[in-house]
Amino acid sequence: MDAHKYLRRLFLAAPLAFTIPGAALAQQEPCIGNSAAITGPAAFGGQAIKMGAEIAIEEINAKGGVLGKPLRFVQYDDAGAPPRGVDNTRRIALADKCVVILGGYHSTVSVAQVEPVHAIGIPFVGVLAANTQAIENGRSPNYMFRVSAKDKWVARFLVEQASKVSKTGKIAFFYENTGWGNGAVPDVKAAIAKAGKELVATETFNWNDQDMTPQAIRARDAGADVALFWALDREGNQLVRSMDKVGYKPTVIGAWGIAGNLGELAGPLANGVEVVQTYSFMGELDPRGQALWQKIQAKYGLKDPSQIKMGSGIANAYDAIHIVAQAIEKAGAYDWKKVREALYQVKYDGLVAKYDPAFDAADPERQDAILPSYYKLTVWSDGKLLPIAQTPYGKTN
C-alpha cells in the first residue's frame, strides 16, 4: 500500500476512535483531571485550581487515598480556547481514564465541554467559571456540577448590595462583550427587575479597549449612582479611569473578574470597588484557612496572601476535590455513573461552605454546591482586596 493511500485511510479511520462508547472502555482509575488556562492572560486561574487541588489530594493521600489507592491529579492547558477544552475533556476521560474532570477559568470553555462530557458520561465539576447555562444546561441526567459561584446567583447578590447603597435606585451595568459578559445580561436584568430598581444604562466594551469615556458619560447622564461590573481587571481599570476622567463617581460593585490586580492597575481609583468572591485569603483567617495558607506557602513558595490571584479558585478546587473523594468512597468504585449518583449524597463541612448536601438531584438549580448565602463581599483598599467587614467600607453599608 502506498503512503498516500495509507494516510488517507488513517484520516478516515480517526473519527472511529471517538465513537466507541465510554462504557466499552476499560475501568476508570483514581485520577482527577482538569482542563484550564495555564498559559495566556488567565493563567493565574489554572494555577489557583492546581494549588487547591494538589493540596487537597495530598491531604487525602496522607490518609490512605480513596478506596485504598492514592488519588492522582492531571492538568492540561486549554489557554481559554473551547476546542482545546473539548480535546482535553476526551483525553482526560478516555486516555487518562480519570473518574472526574474539574472545570477551568473560562465560561466559554465550560459551555463547550457540556457536549463531550455528556457524550462520554464523565462527571464534570466546575471550580471557577460561573456561567449559568454551563451547569443549568437542561440535560437529564446532568453530568455538569459546580463548586463555585453561579452568575445567576451572583447577579442577585450584587443587585442586593446595589439596592442597599443606591440612593436614587438607578443602576448602571457594564459588561464585557464575551460569552461570560453576555451570559450575565439576562441574569442582571432579571435580578434588577425583581428588586424593583431601575437599570438606566446597559453598556458593553471589548477586551483591550483603551478608553470607555462614552460609556461612562452615558451612565453618568442617566443618573446611575451604582455601577455593576462584569469585567476583568484590565478593562475594569479602564472603566474606573474613564469614570474618573468624566468626573463620575458611582459605587462600583463587580463580579470576580476584577479580583486579580485591579488595585495595582488603577491605584487609588480602585479604592472602594467591591468584588464578590467565594473565598479570600486576605485579612484575618479562621484556623482552617490559616492551615491551608501555610500549606500553600510551604509548597508554592509564596510569602504574602496578596500574591494569591483568584483565591476563590484555590478554595473552590480544594473543596471540590474533597467532595469528589467522598463521592468515590460512597460509590465504592471508580465508576463515572456511580460517582455521579454519589455526588448527590455527599455532606461535607468545607472551607467555603457547609455542603448539606453538596448537590440536590431534585432541584436543577442545585447542581451548584455553593449557595449565595456563602458568597463574600470583598473591597479593594490600597491595593489589597480585603473582606469588606474588615475595612472602613464595611461600616458605611
Place of cell 451570559: 183
Q: Which of residues 216-275 bind another protein (CB under 8 A)?
A: 217, 233-234, 237-238, 241, 244-247, 260-261, 264-265, 267
The dihedral of CA 18, 24, 26, 27: what is its sign? positive
Minimum Å distance from CB 213 to another protein? 5
What residue type is 192 in one-letter code? I
Place of cell 438606566: 200
Q: Which is nearer to another protein, 21 or 301 (CB)?
A: 301
Q: Is there binding between residue 336 and another protein (CB under 8 A)?
A: no
Q: Which is nearer to another protein, 160 or 244 (CB)?
A: 244
Question: Beta 348-349 vs 354-355: how paired, if at all?
Answer: antiparallel
**Cα 305 from chain centre:** 19
Given a contact cutoff of 8 angstroms between Cβ atoms, the answer to whether 88 and 106 are in contact is: no
Q: Which is nearer to another protein, 294 or 307 (CB)?
A: 307
Q: Is there binding between residue 309 and another protein (CB under 8 A)?
A: yes
Beta strand segments in 194-336, E: 198-205, 226-230, 251-254, 274-277
Q: Which is nearer to another protein, 220 or 340 (CB)?
A: 220
Which one among 168, 177, 290, 307 touches another protein, defined by CB under 8 A?
A: 177
Q: Which is nearer to another protein, 183 or 260 (CB)?
A: 260
Size of the site for another protein (CB under 8 A): 34
The set of residues, in sequence order, having a beta carbon less than 8 Å from that of 45 and lying 6+ positions away, is 36, 37, 104, 105, 106, 128, 310, 313
Which one among 205, 336, 355, 380 touches another protein, defined by CB under 8 A?
A: 205
The set of residues, in sequence order, having a beta carbon less than 8 Å from that of 296 and lying 6+ positions away, is 51, 55, 281, 302, 308, 314
Minimum Å distance from CB 217 to another protein? 6
Q: Is there binding between residue 152 and another protein (CB under 8 A)?
A: no
Q: Which of residues 9-48 bind another protein (CB under 8 A)?
A: 39-44
Which stretches of the chain bind another protein, using CB under 8 A? 39-44, 177, 203-206, 208-211, 213-215, 217, 233-234, 237-238, 241, 244-247, 260-261, 264-265, 267, 309
